[in-house]
Amino acid sequence: MQSPKFLWLALAAGFVLAGCAATKSTAGGSPAQARGQAVSEADLLAWNIDVRTPDGLGLPPGSGSVAAGKAVFDAKCASCHGAAAAGGPVFGSMVGGIGSFKTDRRVLTPGSMYPYAPVLFDYVRRAMPMNAPQSLSNDEAYAVTGYVLQLNGLVAADAVMTAASLTAVQMPNRNGFMVDDRPDTAATRCMSQCTPIAGK
């Protein structure tokens, strides 16, 4: 007894669905309606934290000395990174490794790896300390960046980091990168009498 009613409902539902489909396809054929709200760069200032390298575009005003950086590091960083960034309970050493890339054991630290010093400022400001990211002032970020660079022997103990001085630091790995040039392998589709896979 119920089937005619169900049939009727199904047909009604079908019409509704067909209606939806028709509306959708019409909308899809026309240009998307603009939904974004105009915003100014000034409104986005607090978000606009990126620093580009090598030119340092985006580095803010401010300054910080290596000595001030040690104080910031000891208070806010050493509990994870260890004293003098030598490695701690959360992260390994951030010192050394310069010259290791031509050996079998490459040691990656900000000193050995970063091509440009402002990269470190950018990362510290956006992501550190891990339990309170974006909590450091620009002066603190400059200072702690200077301290880590000094621990790596890249700036003097009395250095003061600013946008200009940080951008001027010569990092040992500045010429260490090459842009993707793959495909770089030369495998062919061998089907018989092939070289065995080197594994077990």
Partner 1 sequence: MTDSKSSRLVSAARSELQAAGSITHDPTRRAMLGRTAAAAAGGVAALAGGRAAAATVPVPASNLALGRALPETEYGMPSKYEAHVKRRRTDVLVNRQNFSDWSMTPLHQQHGTLTPNGLIYERHHSGVPDIDPQQHRFAIHGMVRKPLLFTMDDLMKYPSVTRFHFMECSGNGLTDWLKASSKTVQQTHGLLSCAQWTGVPVSTLLDEAGVRPEATWALAEGADGAAHARSIPMAKLLEDAMIVYASNGEMLRPENGYPLRLFIPGWEGNVSIKWLRRIKLGDKPWHLRSETARYTDPMPDGKWRQFSFAMEAKSVITSPSGGMNVRPGEIEILGFAWSGLGKIRTVDVTLDGGRTWREATLEEPVLDKCLTRFRLRWKWDGTPATIASRAIDSTGYVQPTVEEIRKVRAITGFVQHHNGVFPWSINAAGEVKNAIA
Q: How far apart, in whole angstroms, are the C-alpha atoms of residue 174 and residue 6?
A: 73
Q: Is 101:112 a contact under the CB 8 Å cutoff?
A: yes
**Nearer of residues 10 and 179 to partner 1, judged by Cβ:** 179
Q: Which residues of 9-40 are buried (b: 16+ CB within 10 A; e: fewer)?
A: eeeeeeeeeeeeeeeeeeeeeeeeeeeeeeee
Q: Which of 1, 10, 32, 46 binds partner 1 (CB under 8 A)?
A: 32
Smallest gap from Cβ 85 to partner 1, in A, equals 14
Secondary structure (3-state) at 161: strand
Our finding on whether 102 is near partner 1 (CB under 8 A) is yes
**Nearer of residues 4 and 89 to partner 1, judged by Cβ:** 89
Site for partner 1 in 181-200 (CB under 8 A): 181-200
Residue with tokens 């026309």: 30
Site for partner 1 in 114-173 (CB under 8 A): 114-116, 119-120, 122-123, 126-127, 130, 133-134, 173
Our finding on whether 19 is near partner 1 (CB under 8 A) is no
**Nearer of residues 74 and 106 to partner 1, judged by Cβ:** 106
